[in-house]
Structure 1
Amino acid sequence: MAVPATVIYFTCYDQLCAVLKGNVFPADSVPLELVHTKMQSEKQSYQELSAVFRSALHNEGWRSLRRVWGPTLLRDVPFSAMYWFIYEKGKAWLCQYYNCTDPTFAITFTAGALSGSFASVITLPFDVVKTKRQVELGELVHTSLIQHMKRIVAENEVSGLFAGFLPRLIKVAPACAIMIST
C-alpha cells in the first residue's frame, strides 16, 4: 500500500511543480487506505470486507465509498502544501546555515522530519474524521464533516480531534525524513 501511495505522491508533486511552471497536471488516486483502515478496525477477513463493501454499494451506491474523500482531501492537500513549503524553506535555511550549496543527507533528512511533523500535527483532526468515517463504512451514518467534528468534540472534547497524536507523529516524521532523503 505504501509503494503505490509514494509513487502517486511524488508523481503528483512533480506534476504540480510542472503546472506551476505552465505545464499540464493529471491526477487521480485510489482509496487503498480505506480498505486498510476498515480491516484493522474490525479485524475482518478479505471475504468479510468484501461483504461490507457490497452492502455499502447496495445501500448507498458509490457515494458510500466517497464519504471519506472529503476528509482525506482536507488532510492530504494541506499536509502536502505545508510539507513541501516547510521542507523547501527548511532545506534552504539549513544549507545557508551550514554554508553549503547542495543539501546533504542530514539536511534533507532533518528538513523532511521537521516539515512532516508540523504538517501531520496541523492536519490531524482531518485524519481523525477520515478514520472514523472509514470505520463506519457499511453503516448508515450520514453526517457532514462539521457535524462529525462536533460529535467528536462533544464526546471527547477538543483533544478527541487529536487522538493518535503520538503514533501519527512517530509514523509520519521518520517516513517523511526517509522518503525525502533517499
Structure 2
Amino acid sequence: MAHQQQISLPAKLINGGIAGIVGVTCVFPIDLVKTRLQNQRQGHQIYKNMLDCLVKTVRSEGYFGMYRGAAVNLTLVTPEKAIKLAANDFFRQHLSKNGKGLTVFKEMLAGCGAGICQVVITTPMEMLKIQLQDAGRLAAQQRMAVSATQIARDLLHTQGIQGLYKGLGATLMRDVPFSMVYFPLFAHLNRLGQPSRDESAPFYWAFLSGCLAGSTAAVAVNPCDVVKTRLQSLSKGANEESYNGVVDCVSKIMRKEGPFAFLKGAGCRALVIAPLFGIAQVMYFIGIGEFILDQENKKNIL
C-alpha cells in the first residue's frame, strides 16, 4: 500500500469508515445470501443458489428483507475498519524501523496483528448480524421476530459478555489468515501499477487490486467462514444439529455433508468482499478523509 502509507491515520480512518458504510449498503443483500446458503443442510435446502435465494427473499420478506441485520453492520463497521487499519499501520511501522521496505513475511505479520485486533468488534458484530440474516430462512419452520437489541440483551442476560463472543476462535481463524493474505497481496498488486516508486497507481489499478486481493483472500478462508457462521447461529431449524466448538463443527460438517460443504457461499463471499475493498481504494484515491480534515482545519484557523 505504498500510496496509502503517506495518508495520515485520522484521514485513513475516515476513508475506511466511509468505505465500509458505502460498501455494506451496496453488497449487504449478497452477504445475507451467503449466510443463508452456508447454514443450509443437505436434505433441508430451501435455496438452490444465490439468485434463487435473492428472489425468494424478496418475495417472502420484501425488498428490505434483504437488509436484515444491516443496521448492526452499519453501526459497527466504522470502528471495525478503524481498528483494522490502525493496527495494520502500527505493526507495519514497528516492523520497518530500519527504514527499509517490508518483506512479504513482515507484511503478513502486520496483517496477522490487524486481524487479531479487529475481532474485538468483528465477533459481536457478526454474531448479531447472523441471527438477523438467518431469521428469514428459519421462518418457514418457526415464526421468529427478533431485533439486534433483543438478541444482545438476551445473550448478556443468559451468558454474560462471553455470549456476544461465541465463535471467537472461528472468527480469528477467518480474519487472521484473511488479513495475512489480503494486505501483502494488495500491496504487491498495486505496486505493479505504479508508474514510478514515488507515484501512486492509477485509480482503476488500485480499484482492481483491491477487488482481486479481497476476493482471493475471501475464497481462501471461506471454510473458516462456514464454520464461524454455523457456530454463531443460535437458532436452528428442524433436524439441524448444534456444535460444541470448532473441532466438533468441522468434524460433523465433513462427516454429514462432505468437504464441498466448506465451499458453501464462496462465490457470494467473493462478490461481497471484492467491491468492499475496491470501494475502500476509491475512498483513498479520492481523498475524502483528507478533504474533511482540511476543511475542519480551515474552520479552526478562521
* TM-score (structure 2 length as normaliser): 0.51
- Equivalent residue, structure 2, for 1:115: 213
- Residue by residue, what CA displacement relative to the aligned partner does 1:57-93 show, whole Å, maximum 9, x if unpaired? 1xxx544443311111111111011001110111112
Corresponding residue SS for 1:41: helix
CA shift in 2, pair 1:103/1:148, >3 Å: same
Q: Could you tell me whether the CA contact under 8 Å between 2:127 and 2:166 is conserved in 1?
A: no
In the alignment, the residues of structure 1 paired with residue 252 and residue 207 of structure 2 have an alpha-carbon distance, to the nearest angstrom, of 38
Greater Cα shift, 13-22 or 66-75: 13-22
- Equivalent residue, structure 2, for 1:73: 172
In the alignment, the residues of structure 1 paired with residue 148 and residue 187 of structure 2 have an alpha-carbon distance, to the nearest angstrom, of 41
- Equivalent residue, structure 1, for 2:223: 125
CA shift in 2, pair 1:50/1:80, >3 Å: closer
% of aligned pairs identical? 24
- Equivalent residue, structure 1, for 2:87: 12
- Equivalent residue, structure 1, for 2:27: none
- Equivalent residue, structure 1, for 2:281: 180
Alignment of 1:82-97 (within 5 A): 82-95=181-194
Q: Could you tell me whether the CA contact under 8 Å between 2:128 and 2:148 is conserved in 1?
A: no
How many pairs are equivalent? 173
Q: Which runs of 5+ in 2 are unaligned?
A: 1-72, 98-112, 137-145, 237-241, 284-302
* One-letter code aligned to 1:94: G
In the alignment, the residues of structure 2 paired with residue 71 and residue 41 of structure 1 have an alpha-carbon distance, to the nearest angstrom, of 18
Instruction: Compute the displacement of 1:46 (Å).
Output: 4.0
Alignment of 1:33-182 (within 5 A): 33-42=126-135, 44-46=146-148, 48-50=150-152, 52-54=154-156, 56-57=158-159, 61-95=160-194, 99-100=195-196, 101-136=199-234, 143-182=244-283
- Residue by residue, what CA displacement relative to the aligned partner does 1:130-169 show, whole Å, maximum 9, x if unpaired? 111110379xx56231221121122221111111112111
In the alignment, the residues of structure 2 paired with residue 87 and residue 46 of structure 1 have an alpha-carbon distance, to the nearest angstrom, of 34
Larger radius of gyration: 2
Deviating above 4 A after TM superposition, structure 1's stretches of 4 or more consecutive aligned residues are 25-28
Instruction: Compute the displacement of 1:118 (Å).
Output: 0.7
CA shift in 2, pair 1:102/1:47, >3 Å: closer
Note if 1:21 corresponds to 2:96: yes
In the alignment, the residues of structure 2 paired with residue 116 and residue 50 of structure 1 have an alpha-carbon distance, to the nearest angstrom, of 30
* One-letter code aligned to 1:13: N
* TM-score (structure 1 length as normaliser): 0.82
Q: Which runs of 5+ in 1 are unaligned?
A: none
